[in-house]
Amino acid sequence: MRRRAKVINFGILYGMGVNALRSALGEGVSREEAARFLSEYFKNFSGLERFIEKTKADAARKGFTETLFGRRRYFPALKSALPNLVAQAERMAINAPIQGTQSDIIKLAMVEADTLIEKKGWREKARLILQVHDELVYEVDTDDAEGIARALRQVMEEVAPKKELFNVPIVAEIAIGNNWGDTKRIGR
């Protein structure tokens, strides 16, 4: 069920249509079922369909989309005479403000987290070793791991002004472990 929800969620943001959704959901899903999933999704998230159509129209008019922080991505293929190139550019234009804003936020979080580490004198205790999509991975002294992790979570959750995100909160999860297999989530 979770896998199906992820496929639908992310697929729609990538501009996935009925046939692509059917294929992504796998064997046993008819075209009618895939169409019903899409229809139900847009019924439950009515603002998303408006967002998608507005984003496509704005991108066609301006030639670019912007993240919530103003970073632009240009789509020259929107002016193409080839329908498949236009459709691909439209899908990219829909997704760019979402993934681009997430990228802006994680970069801001990295800067703020580094500032916090410096300010608290944790430079020898906490070291960023990896950033993957919306995740930051730190190597932290065992004795200080939970306190530092909680402070870093707060930075990540507060890095973007709520007004910029239409009052949608950022929720960060933290986990601690000696290796990937040992990680345990830390609650609030």
Whether this model's pTM surpasses 0.85: no
Q: Which residues pair with 137 in a beta bridge?
A: 130
- The pLDDT tens digits for 120-176 are 999 999 999 999 989 999 999 999 999 999 999 999 999 987 667 777 888 999 999
Which tokens hold the place of 163? 């007004």
Question: What residues have CB less than 8 Å from 78, skipping those under 6 apart?
Answer: 59, 60, 63, 86, 89, 90, 93
Mean pLDDT, rounded, for 11-27:
84
Average pLDDT for 101-107: 94
